[in-house]
């Protein structure tokens, strides 16, 4: 792979490695926190913590674009990662409070809840910085060759999904043998390491027009213009058409974060708590394997089909297959081999959705920062309310209704995109490839 064919590939691998570490730590805790904190006697604190994270994440997306443009993506991601560190540290308090008489004299039950909720709000704002900054950074990496957007997204998310696999194993190994505060402390250390590495992330050259704005001293006017542009983009027809798959992504994300682990433990009623945690974590590792395989497959198909329109058609088929398998698993409602297979298939679907949103926001909209901010806003607020629904799913009938609803809505949202969204290269990338070849031939002649 030459630098001309794959510009900024080193930067793509660098940010992928940093997020790999960050989300080994984050996923290890987020996937189990709703269940582990309940085991500590804090009822639904885990669900409330996640709900606060996603609510703040979504709402702060409205103010994030001008902040990220001022700070630049690199610094934004470093500050966002620090917010993750704060949340991870706070999660160890509930477990330690049960064992430490000294801590009980300093902090009450309600004070610990308040600390966790405040730390959750801080992480929510940090998630805005780190994810919108990542979206801008990754988009900039492929601006010299926009057709590399799909493969770069696939590389990045493959690292993320590999982190998902390892995070499940980490949760299983620690929770299967030790108390949960050890999991939070190990994850805090990993997260701090990621924060340090993000400081040394390669810088991507800013666009020429951005340089011109800085030279002319018009950054304030540009910021005001972007705020107006953000509101117009929210109400634009193209963006409105993406809200369906954004909500579909939120359904998948919320179920993966708080519903799947809970579902897997509920189907093991005859096992001890530690065995439930261990086996559910191992099953979730298959979800991560599915995400990794799905991301690699998305990158391969993206390179072959060269069309987001065609990739949306593929995503529709993946939805039908994955949710059908989940419906089958729910009807059996007994932990076994099918549970592992279903987690794997759901992982493939989840990775297709995430890759699809990365590519659409980065390649189909010229205002990439604003597009990612709107996506994160709508997605995160949706996750908040979906988490509240999931927290009340405690039996076969509840999961049946939820999963069937996910299947119907996912088909509807992808069908809307296929029918109405105006993709840049709807019938393929032939014209774009011809232009690219013409330009490259002219460069070679010179």
Q: What is the pLDDT of residues 247-276, one digit of tens each?
A: 999 999 888 877 888 888 888 877 887 788
Task: Report whether pLDDT(209) > 50.
Answer: no
Q: Which of 28-32, 74-78, 290-294 has the highest mean pLDDT?
A: 74-78
Kindly indicate the confidence band of residue 224, based on its pLDDT and cuts at 50, 70 and 90: very low
The pLDDT score that the predictor gives to residue 214 is: 44
Most confident of 161-170, 185-194, 333-342, 389-398: 185-194
Query: What mean pLDDT comes out for the span 44-72?
Result: 86
For the residues 45-61, what does the mean pLDDT come to? 88
Most confident of 119-133, 156-170, 197-211, 382-396: 119-133
Indicate the DSSP class of residue 3: T
How far apart CA 68 and CA 223 sit, in angstroms, is 11
Check whether 334 has a pLDDT greater than 60: yes
Task: Compute CA distances 317 → 48, 129, 136, 294, 327, whole Å.
Answer: 34, 33, 29, 13, 16
Which pLDDT does position 430 carry in this prediction? 42
Contact 317, 327 (CB under 8 A): no
The pLDDT of 52-62, averaged and rounded, is 87
**Do residues 48 and 188 make contact, with C-beta atoms less than 8 angstroms apart?**
no
pTM: 0.70
Give the pLDDT band of residue 426 (cuts 50, 70, 90). low
Helix count (H) and strand count (E) of the chain?
18, 0
The separation between the first and the last C-alpha atoms of the chain, rounded to the nearest angstrom, is 23
176 touches 278 (CB < 8 A): yes
Question: Which residue from 188, 182, 179 is spatially nearest to 40, judged by alpha carbons?
Answer: 179
Q: Is the pLDDT of residue 62 over 50?
A: yes
Q: What is the DSSP secondary-structure string of 241-270?
A: HHHHHHHHHHHHHHIIIIIHHHHHHHTTTT
* Statement: residue 344 has pLDDT above 80: yes
Question: How large a percentage of the chain has pLDDT more than 90?
Answer: 19
Answer yes or no: is pLDDT of 73 > 80: yes
| In the predicted structure, residue 325 carries a pLDDT above the cut 70 | yes
CA angle 123, 138, 431 (to 5 degrees): 145
Q: Which of the four pLDDT bands, split at 50, 70 and 90, describes residue 217?
A: very low
Return the H-helix or E-strand segment holding 197.
helix 180-199
Structure confidence at residue 4 as a pLDDT band (50, 70, 90): low
Average pLDDT of the chain to the nearest whole number: 81
For residue 164, how many C-alpha atoms fall within 13 Å in the half-sphere facing its CB?
29
Provide the pLDDT for residue 2.
56
Of 24, 27, 26, the closest CA to residue 87 belongs to 26
What domains are defined for the chain? 9-202+219-439 (1.20.1250.20)
d(CA 19, CA 197): 10
Q: What is the pLDDT of residue 81?
A: 95
**Residue 421 to residues 97, 309, 413, 429, 445, Cα–Cα distance (Å):** 52, 9, 11, 16, 39
């Amino acid at each position: 792979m030459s630098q001309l064919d794959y510009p900024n590939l080193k930067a793509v691998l660098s940010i992928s490695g940093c997020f790999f570490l960050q989300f080994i730590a984050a996923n290890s805790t987020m996937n189990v926190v709703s269940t582990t904190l309940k085991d500590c006697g804090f009822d639904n604190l885990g669900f409330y913590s996640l709900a606060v994270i996603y609510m703040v994440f979504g709402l702060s997306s409205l103010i994030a674009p001008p902040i990220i443009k001022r700070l630049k993506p690199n610094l934004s991601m470093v500050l966002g990662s620090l917010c993750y560190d704060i949340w991870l540290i706070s999660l160890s308090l509930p477990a330690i409070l049960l064992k430490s008489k000294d801590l009980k004299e300093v902090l009450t039950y309600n004070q610990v809840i308040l600390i966790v909720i405040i730390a959750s709000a801080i992480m929510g704002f940090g998630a805005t910085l780190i994810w919108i900054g990542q979206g801008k950074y990754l988009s900039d990496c492929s601006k010299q060759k926009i057709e590399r957007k799909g493969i770069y997204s696939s590389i990045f998310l493959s690292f993320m999904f590999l982190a998902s696999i390892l995070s499940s194993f980490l949760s299983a190994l620690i929770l299967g043998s030790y108390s949960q505060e050890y999991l939070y402390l190990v994850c805090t250390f990993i997260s701090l390491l990621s924060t340090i590495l993000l400081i040394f992330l390669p810088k991507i050259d800013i666009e020429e027009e951005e340089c011109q704005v800085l030279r002319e001293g018009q950054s304030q006017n540009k910021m005001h213009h972007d705020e107006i542009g953000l509101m117009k983009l929210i109400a634009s027809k193209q963006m409105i058409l993406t809200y369906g798959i954004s909500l579909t992504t939120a359904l998948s994300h919320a179920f993966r974060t708080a519903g799947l682990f809970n579902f897997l433990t509920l189907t093991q009623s005859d096992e001890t708590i530690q065995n439930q945690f261990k086996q559910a974590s191992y099953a979730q590792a298959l979800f991560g394997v599915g995400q990794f395989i799905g991301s690699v497959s998305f990158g391969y198909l993206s390179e072959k089909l060269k069309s987001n329109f065609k990739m949306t058609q593929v995503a529709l088929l993946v939805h039908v297959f994955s949710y059908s398998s989940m419906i089958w698993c729910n009807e059996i409602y007994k932990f076994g081999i099918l549970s592992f297979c279903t987690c794997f298939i759901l992982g493939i679907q989840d990775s297709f959705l995430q890759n699809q949103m990365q590519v659409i926001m980065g390649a189909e909209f010229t205002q990439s920062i604003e597009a990612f901010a709107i996506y994160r806003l709508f997605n995160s607020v949706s996750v908040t309310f979906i988490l509240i629904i999931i927290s009340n799913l405690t039996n076969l009938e509840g999961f049946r209704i939820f999963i069937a609803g996910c299947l119907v809505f996912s088909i509807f949202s992808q069908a809307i995109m296929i029918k109405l969204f105006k993709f840049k290269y709807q019938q393929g990338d032939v014209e774009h490839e011809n232009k690219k070849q013409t330009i490259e031939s002219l460069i070679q002649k010179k």
